[in-house]
Amino acid sequence: MLPLLSCLRAVMLACFGLALSAPAVAQDRPPVVLAAASLQESLNKAADGWAAKGHARPVLSFAASSALARQIVNGAPADLFISADEEWMDYVAKAPGHPGGWLKPGTRVTFLTNRLALIAPAASPVRLTIAPGFPLAAALGPSGRLATGQVGAVPVGQYAKEALINLRVWPSVEGRIAGADSVRSALALVARGEAPLGIVYATDAAVEPRVRTVALFPAQVHAPINYPLATLATSTSREAEGFRRFLLSGEGRAIFVRYGFGTK
């Protein structure tokens, strides 16, 4: 009898070990959403709307798209990714390390747009018209810096650099960039008066009362500011697809429009 019990115990332990090593399966838990920093107010409102329908409220994490994309390909557990540009979504889609890719096929959709804004502290007297060769460096003063995202990685900084190059003012300000780790960090530099001017998204300027929009950049001087959304191949939340569809619905898009985003 004892040998039989020993065998049964061994089989149970082996099965338990296999269960621990099995791939993750869909679970009844809120989806984890990694989203561009500029979406904080609007996506929180959308999450509230989803929760009001009887669903568990999604768990939202905001940062620069570049930082989030790197987290994803390094194995960060999440269900949905919303980037502030196509480039970092492409990075996730093409990165090695996950069989079949990091994005769930057929779920990537570009659904929001934005504008690029030149901002100043609310009490600043600065007035500028954005046009080729406009005197941006002079408006910064003798030692002021231009706050925006890191121009080599953070989407808003990349859009800003492209716009300034096309407007032929980049050489005059290239050495005076205060490159922040996200658009919200750049916004905070101007809001606190630590930078006399900044380049952020129009939607960011609209939610910060301590800054004002000096001017909007013409859309043609930089690549379109698009926000793609996709489900990650590693997603294990049964609620993820429902929340993705809600964001893409007319009701969901209307929430973002109220915060100044355009829709596609």
pLDDT digits (tens, 9 = 90+) for 204-232: 999 999 999 999 999 999 999 999 999 99
Query: Helices in the chain by DSSP H: which ranges?
Result: 2-21, 40-51, 65-73, 86-94, 136-140, 155-166, 170-173, 183-191, 202-206, 240-248, 250-258
Instruction: Tell me if 190 is assigned to some domain.
Output: yes
Closest to 260 measured CA to CA, from 129, 130, 116: 116
135, 217: one domain: yes
Which SS3 state, helix, strand or coil, does residue 74 take?
coil
Domain of 215: which CATH number? 3.40.190.10
Q: What pLDDT score was predicted for residue 100?
A: 83
Alpha-carbon dihedral sign for residues 127, 124, 117, 199: positive
CB 72 within 8 A of CB 102: yes
255 and 187 part of one domain: no
Tokens of 234: 């590693």
Q: Are residues 135 and 207 in the same domain?
A: yes
The reply to whether 20 falls in a domain is no
Amino acid found at 256: F
* Nearest residue to 40 via CA among 261, 263, 239, 240: 261
- Total domains in the fold of the chain: 2
pLDDT, greater one: 53 or 22: 53
Same domain membership, residue 120 and residue 45 = no
Residues 108-118: what's their mean pLDDT? 98
pLDDT band at 4 (very low <50, low <70, confident <90, very high): very low
Q: Are residues 53 and 139 in the same domain?
A: no
d(CA 11, CA 210): 66
How high is the pLDDT of residue 28? 75
Six token digits for residue 247: 């964001």
Whether residues 73 and 199 fall in one domain = no
Answer yes or no: do 214 and 140 share one domain: yes
Side-by-side strand order, sheet with 211-216: 177-180, 146-149, 197-201, 116-121, 211-216
23 part of a folded domain: no
Task: Indicate yes or no: pTM above 0.85.
Answer: yes
At residue 22, the pLDDT reads: 37
What is the arithmetic mean of pLDDT over 48-59?
97
Domain residues for the domain of 194 are 116-221
